[in-house]
Structures are given as C-alpha cells and as structure tokens.
Structure 1
C-alpha cells in the first residue's frame, strides 16, 4: 500500500444511529477534531437508514460506523469511492466481509479498546446477580427490610464460571474472576487461546462447560453457527440454580427458552446487556422478573471505552487517508485485490494531479 503525501479530498461519513449533526454522540466525544486537524473532512449522515442509501455516500471515502449498520452488495456495488468502513466497537455481524473485499473496501474494528470495559461489564452483572442486588435495592426503596431474609447472596469463592467465546474479553474477565477464588473454564471455536494456560483456564467443550458452570457468561461473536447457541437443550444441560450473563449478542440466546428457564426456577437468574429484540417489547415478562438484572446494551459505555474506541477508529481512518495500512483489519486480503488498487490509484490522481 503506497504512502500518499496528504489526505486530499478524503471525506468521512459518520452514521446517524448514534451521532447528531454537530458531531456530538451518545457515546461522548468521538474525537472528530483529530480528523479536522489532519485536513480530513467529515459529516454526519442526514438520517439513520439501514442500509445506507448509496446516494448518501457519494464522494465518501470512509464510514465511521457507530452502530450495527449493514454493509453488503446493496450499498457497496454503488459506492465506488468508498475505501474503508471503520467500526466503532468490535462486532461486525452486519458487515459482509466478502462483499467488502470484492468491492475493495477495508473493514476495521477496535477489539483491544473494548476488552477491559466489556470484561468489567460482565463482572458487574455477575456480582449483581450473586448478591441479589436488584431485589435488595427494591426492598430498600420500599422500606421492606423484613423481606431481606429471602434474598441471601450466592457464593463466589469455589464456584465455577464458564465463559463461552473465550477470546480477549473472556481472558480479561478471567483475570478479574480468578482473584475472587473462582474457577474459570472456557469454550471457543478453536479450542485454543494463548492466555488460557497462563490464567489456569481449561478450554472445554460447550456441553461440559454448561454442565459444570455455576455462572455462564456469553462473550461469543454472533455468527450463523452461534445464533441461538443457548437454547432449551442448552439450558437443560446447565445446573439447576445456575446463572446466565450475556454481554455478547442477544441472538446468542433463544429468548423464549430463557423465559422458560427463569420462570421454572431452573435458572436462578440472568444478567443481560443485550437482547433479541432490542429494545425488548414493553410487555415482555423478562422486564418484570426480580431475578433478572438488565442494562440497555450500554453497560461498557465508560469514559475510557469512548476514549479508546474512538482513538482506534479515528486512527484507522487517518491511516487509510494517508495511504497506510490500519490496525485491526478484518479482511486483510482486500489489499491484494484489483478493486482496492484501483481506488488507491484514483485517490493518488487527486492528490498528485498530472501536470
């Protein structure tokens, strides 16, 4: 990838699902001034539409995707200037990587930046469940102190936590759990993780993990293979009285089966930051359950989350604008495609016009 002298005529579109027209965001300061400082133009898209109408991306070289906008051939086949989709976060299940590669579009995300905030979000839900925090909060607010004897906390030391999708976030969560005296086991597609052995984490099959765990934490990415991974048969394999924490994606869980497991008492409780659908329907039974702790897909939204995720996404944009390879590329094979080379040549022609 050749280095250009300046990001001339490089424009970034920011998705309107989480940003306002002035560049402010529900996440906080996105650091868009760093683009301006580099001479890179940016604008927030006029509306939140999924997929983005190709007309809205005319003359746009990069998209800062703040949420889960779809990028597939419907958009990519009609956006000849687009070179980069920079995901604000780690998940990319709505992005067709093969279609992006064919179209010469680089896709990046920010996995390192979400590692600690998401791990602490998982710990927060686990601790809230083990201490019956939601029920005790309600007892206190209603001056019903007599009811506290019915909400004794569950133990932590000596209990087993099974992390489904044991990757970087799972490893970070294990670092927080092991000092509490908890045994951590994990499961992932490859059956390997370089951090697992150092942390004393055994990687086991999913069935074994479900059968052994007192707490099951979902960190897995959403793929066709993991959709509804935790269904009625999976709940049946879990210990009676176990807890479920989901900080991955709502579609990892069969919501009907989850309700049944909670209603029957087989599952002692659940801590959920993600749902299917999002938001839940107002009359969903889950919303009224005392043994469920809920957060609106935002528990990891901390100041350091916004700072580090935005820094990573902005760095990717600047790198592509300046002709460099960014970090955390999800489709590195794109750099060898004729489509990407053609887009770089067009940009070079703009930067250095023929005399």
Structure 2
C-alpha cells in the first residue's frame, strides 16, 4: 500500500534526513514537498494525504476539516500551536511533536542571553569598536547572588536552565500549575504562584507553551505590577508577551531590559519600536539551533510519521 506524505513547508536546503527515515522504513511512501503559506495552499497540497509534516503553515479547523485521509501530523519542534488540536482529535488524527531535541540548545541560549545582557556585553563590545574604552557606560551591573530568578513553566528546558544558573547564586523560584512543590524542590526551586513570580523576581525566564491561558501572560494589565527593574527572557513563544506591554514597561523603566529569541510578529518589522531599545536583545528564533539538534529534530519528526503509518502509537504523540 502506498502512502502519500506531504510536507506543508520547510526551510531546509534538502530533505535528506526525512527521506532516509522513509527509505529505511520499507514503506511505500510518496513524499510530496510543498511550500504552503496559506490555508488554501495547504488544502490543495494535502487534502488526500495520509500524513503531514508541518513547520509553520496553518493547520487550523478550516484546513483540517478538508482533509479526507489524514492519519497523522508531525510538527517540527516542541510547540503545536499551528495545529487545531481539538479538531484533530475529533477527526482521529494523531498529532506529534519532538519535545526533547533542543533542550541543551535552548537552555544554553537562555543562559547566553542572561549573561550577555547582565554584563552588558553587546553594549561594551560596540563601544570599544567605536573607540570608546570606558566601562562606565555599562552600569548598573549587579551580582547574581541573592537576586531572584523565576522560571515560568517547569518542563525539561527550564529544569536544564535552572541547573545551569544555580551555580551563579540566584534564589530560584518557579511557577507551573501542573508541577508539585516537591518536584520543584528537587531542583532547589521554591514553587510560587504566578503573581508572586511576576512581582518579586529580578529575572523572569519564560518556558511555557503557547495556549489560550498563556497568550499575553505578560500584558498591559499586569506589566505595572512587575518588580521595578525586572529583566525578561523569552525563548518560548512570542505571543506570551504582549508587545505593547513590553514597550510600555521599557519606556517607563519598569522593565530594565529583555532578551527575546521569539516575538509576536516574526521577523520584527523594519523600523519597529522594539528595535530601537539598546537594552533589548533580539535573536531570530535561533535558540533551538545546532547542527546536531536539527538532525535530531528532522529525524524524529519523520519517525513519528513512520510509526503512525505502521499502525503503532508514535513515540511523541500529543493527541
């Protein structure tokens, strides 16, 4: 039996890792490569597909309801916010991700952003290269000891972040309604409620998935309640922070700075106000990246497809 597998969109030069997995499976797979951007393009490419690999193209209710034969969707990455999970579940479509491919990379990136911003590395480097040999442009710089570092979310990545920042001397707190205080205590983290994490912490590092309850978790309604001079790290999903709230906090000085690997609109539009803040570091959704992580991501994404088409429950099935 031949299976039609459609990749809705991708940003890789070649699909050699995926093709290798499909070839080694022994299944008869017709691998169709598309570069869809709109709902209609996805429908046209994947309407009769047995399986779909997805990166950014929309797989919302409108699209899913047009699929006539789909058994499984496998998404590159941890988040599955491009997919309407409820509709997929109703239609009996397995949805899979790869939750464990970039733990080291994202946690390292968060640590690098923290260290670079806290020590004003970018500003000092730029000053020296512009002929200004003067440390006094960098204050204030604070010791980490006894300052409060909060992780919002307590999955695999924030746990690794905690392990890496703990030797720096921070007091560690965490918020996650699905993780017990006892579990957090194993990492020397005190479990707190969200309000306390936001109002008492010097550093807030965001690590939650993008769902209804986390959309605009930091918003115009609570930005003024943040601790004065807070630093915000986001290596999760851009819409967790309401952009206007972030800008308001930066303007007022309530937020001392931010380091963002993700933003609400990617890429950031040319001339956007966010680009004008010297105390905001922005990287282009690159925290996941290493040569090894990309190979692992693509291989496991394809294996989810093979496992489902073979009749097994995929290793990384979400619904």
What TM-score comes out, normalization by structure 2 length? Answer: 0.92
C-alpha displacement of 1:140: 2.2
Partner of residue 142 from structure 1, selected from 123, 130, 139? 130
1:83 maps onto 2:71 in alignment: yes
Q: More relative contact order in 1 or in 2 (CA 8 Å, sep 6+)? A: 1
Describe the SS at the equivalent of 2:100: helix
Q: Describe the superposition over 1:210-241 as per-residue Cα deviations: whole angstroms up to 9, x where unpaired.
A: 12211001111111211111013432222212
Number of the residue aligned with 1:284? 272
Partner of residue 173 from structure 1, selected from 161, 175, 199? 161
| Contact 1:177 1:184 survives alignment (8 Å) | no
Partner of residue 34 from structure 1, selected from 11, 21, 25? 21
1:270 maps onto 2:245 in alignment: no
Number of the residue aligned with 1:3? none
| Contact 2:307 2:313 survives alignment (8 Å) | yes
Unmatched tracts of structure 1, length 5 or more = 1-7, 332-355
Partner of residue 311 from structure 1, selected from 296, 299, 305? 299
C-alpha displacement of 1:47: 3.8
Q: Describe the superposition over 1:301-353 as per-residue Cα deviations: whole angstroms up to 9, x where unpaired.
A: 1123212222321221111122111112111xxxxxxxxxxxxxxxxxxxxxx
CA distance in 1, matches of 2:225, 2:204: 12
1:64 maps onto 2:57 in alignment: no
Number of the residue aligned with 2:237? 249
C-alpha displacement of 1:65: 0.9
Number of the residue aligned with 1:16? 9
CA distance in 2, matches of 1:268, 1:194: 32
Q: 1:163 to 1:51 in 2, by over 3 A?
A: farther
Q: 1:313 to 1:217 in 2, by over 3 A?
A: same
C-alpha displacement of 1:191: 4.6
C-alpha displacement of 1:56: 1.0
Number of the residue aligned with 2:37? 48
1:224 maps onto 2:217 in alignment: no
Describe the SS at the equivalent of 2:281: strand
Report which of the two structures shows the higher radius of gyration computed on alpha carbons: 1
CA distance in 2, matches of 1:244, 1:217: 6
Moved beyond 4 Å, runs of 4+: none
Describe the SS at the equivalent of 2:259: strand
* The 10-residue stretch of structure 1 (119-128 or 194-203) with the greater mean CA deviation from structure 2: 194-203
1:96 maps onto 2:89 in alignment: no
| Contact 1:120 1:300 survives alignment (8 Å) | no
Q: Describe the superposition over 1:177-235 as per-residue Cα deviations: whole angstroms up to 9, x where unpaired.
A: 11222222111132527742211111111111112211001111111211111013432
C-alpha displacement of 1:32: 2.7
C-alpha displacement of 1:51: 5.7
Q: Describe the superposition over 1:116-156 as per-residue Cα deviations: whole angstroms up to 9, x where unpaired.
A: 2222221121111111122112112212113x212043322
| Contact 1:164 1:220 survives alignment (8 Å) | yes
RMSD, aligned α-carbons: 2.0
C-alpha displacement of 1:76: 2.1
CA distance in 2, matches of 1:327, 1:198: 27
* The 10-residue stretch of structure 1 (191-200 or 177-186) with the greater mean CA deviation from structure 2: 191-200
Describe the SS at the equivalent of 2:297: helix
Partner of residue 281 from structure 2, selected from 288, 293, 317? 293
CA distance in 2, matches of 1:30, 1:299: 21
Q: Describe the superposition over 1:42-64 as per-residue Cα deviations: whole angstroms up to 9, x where unpaired.
A: 12115433464323114421111
CA distance in 1, matches of 2:236, 2:12: 23
Number of the residue aligned with 2:151? 163
| Contact 2:158 2:207 survives alignment (8 Å) | yes
